[in-house]
Amino acid sequence: MKRFTLFVLFSLITAFSFGQSKSFQTLRDHFLNKEEVHSFSISGFLCRTALNIMMEEEKELKGMMKDIDHIRFMVIPKDEFENQNLTVNGFRKYITKDSFEEVMSIRDNGEHINIFHRLDGNKKNRYFVLIEESDEVVALELKGYIDPELFKDEDNRITFNKK
């Protein structure tokens, strides 16, 4: 009986450690079965392998991904937010209620990118990247470790305007 109890406890801990954040689960619950919504999950190893094949010269990106264990990805048409009377700004506020802290915000030609971070334990970090474009919203959840020096900027607000 003791072995069975230990097995069940270990299984539950393992299941929770691979689970997604409440924020990502909320997006999935609202949008997964909607038309034109795409969602997938990939291990960090497979993502690094794909990056090595497709982007040989992107050393900074590959370096950033070396300690990422898992990535979840979801593309949602912006119309779906409107159809459910939801807003992307409202979701940004929801992420902070899920213990994520914004570490960077970038605006570039109408796109708005937010990077959020949450510490889930020693080197068990979660990062939530929210990319708002004119016609769709892309949500990425990464589990693993990214060097915080990559996010250091005077005020973590970057704006690009191409002319």
- Amino acid found at 116: F
Kindly give the confidence (pLDDT) of every residue in the chain, 163 residues in length, as a single tens digit, with 9 standing for 90 and above: 444 333 333 333 333 344 678 999 999 998 988 889 999 888 777 766 766 666 666 665 555 666 777 889 899 999 999 999 999 999 999 999 999 999 888 888 889 989 899 987 666 788 899 999 999 999 999 888 777 676 665 555 555 444 4
pTM over 0.85: no
Closest CA to 105 of 160, 156, 162, 161: 156
For residues 24 and 40, what is the distance between their CA atoms, to the nearest angstrom? Answer: 12
Q: Give the CA count within 13 Å in the CB-facing half-sphere of 130.
A: 24
For residues 70 and 120, what is the distance between their CA atoms, to the nearest angstrom? Answer: 14
Is residue 73 a contact partner of residue 41, using CB atoms and an 8 Å limit? Answer: yes
For residues 104 and 158, what is the distance between their CA atoms, to the nearest angstrom? Answer: 8
